[in-house]
Structure 1
Amino acid sequence: MADYLFEPAEVFALEVKGDAKLYPLRRIFCVGRNYAAHAAEMGNEVDREAPWYFTKQVAHAVTSGAVLPYPPGTENYHHEMELAFVLGASVFRANAAEAQAAIYAYGCALDMTRRDRQQDGKDNRRPWSLGKDVEGSAVLGPLTKAEAFGAVADQRIYLEVNGVTRQDASLEEMVWSCGEIVAHLSRYYHLGAGDIILTGTPAGVGPVVAGDSIRGGIEGLEGVSLTLGTAE
């Protein structure tokens, strides 16, 4: 048995509805600007040539219902409600059918963002890590197996802050479908079980402050929530 200098981190895993076993995560991929209306509200256009991505560390993931302090280093922390999906099979350079078949389950997710630090990156042509890869910024709900959820179509996706609706759209507004995302991303990575992909957020993103209660949902999936405490 290996003898470590310090205790290794525990495996982060998500509940799968109807299954006693948990789904362990190994990587988090996020799709940028996958809703045209959101891209427009941020002063951008959708790249319709191909999807593009950023990543978050699994160490920065938390399960739905978390209560976390308002993060340091920002005065403009934003909510972003997203559809997430996880893979159950290995795929590399997948075709459309292989990509869709590899999707194991879907869930709700919050991609919390230090918007001011993200803007710093944009303005200075630097990475977005301080804006996106934030401790506690990947808030993930329980998973629903693909066969139980059905096809991604016109399901409502929405988010409320303190009971007031901020985001309200349809999954059919996504520029790139889940299968298209897998097929494209698999050109660059050997994807497989343990990988989760957040598919982008619709319009209506905005700031949250200490004390806010954030709740989001997608029709057919269990919702996701986060409460922000005082800043550290």
Structure 2
Amino acid sequence: MSSGETKTVSLRTQIGEGLRHVFGSRHRRALAISAVVVNFGTSVISTMLPVVFVREFGLSSAALGLFWATGGAALLLGARSARPMAHWIGYGRTIGTAGLFLTPGSLLVPLIDRWPWLFLAGTGWFLFMFKMGMDNVLGVTLRQHMTPDSLRGRMNATFSFLLTGALASGAAVSGLLGELISVQVALWVGGIIASTAFLPVFLSPVRTLRELPGISARRKTPKPVS
């Protein structure tokens, strides 16, 4: 066997280990599926937004930029609020239960039109992106704590592949829907898919996690008597 073949087998083994680690646990599998769904839905929506603003409704590029900036601000605020919320109601509950109230905001985005519908769609976009910002912090924190050091690189590589693939495929699906059916259908498909992103975590054991894995166990471990 040549050295090149050895490297290929080694890489395949590492990829397999990363996939088994992510999908072999109900906790990590739920986090992965939820992240893939939210990235896919968000990509479907975002791909169509310039078409909706500029071509469909003749809105200015400044209006589109303001809409996207609203989402960016919501991401930042959600990320900033993630830890305080997790300490208050629990890490798993924040990701899972809060999704009941915030993630369905994506269903307001397809209602986008001129004022006042633009404001309503922007509000839904803000709520959805706020939840996404919280998940970006808490989801990464949880999966890092659920992974030993020896597998952390492979776990992160697996997540990166899945999430990047979801963005690319979401953009492709959005373009096909917009071309073959209509822009509004593409927005509704993206909004509906994104609104379900909390369900994999909500229906998994992740929702019951109040603290980071390992912390409560360490607190209960008696200290050795000196």
TM bucket (normalised to shorter chain) is: under 0.3
Question: Greater CA radius of gyration, 1 or 2?
Answer: 2
- Which gives a bigger RCO, structure 1 or 2 (Cα 8 Å, sep 6+)? 2
TM-score (norm 2): 0.25
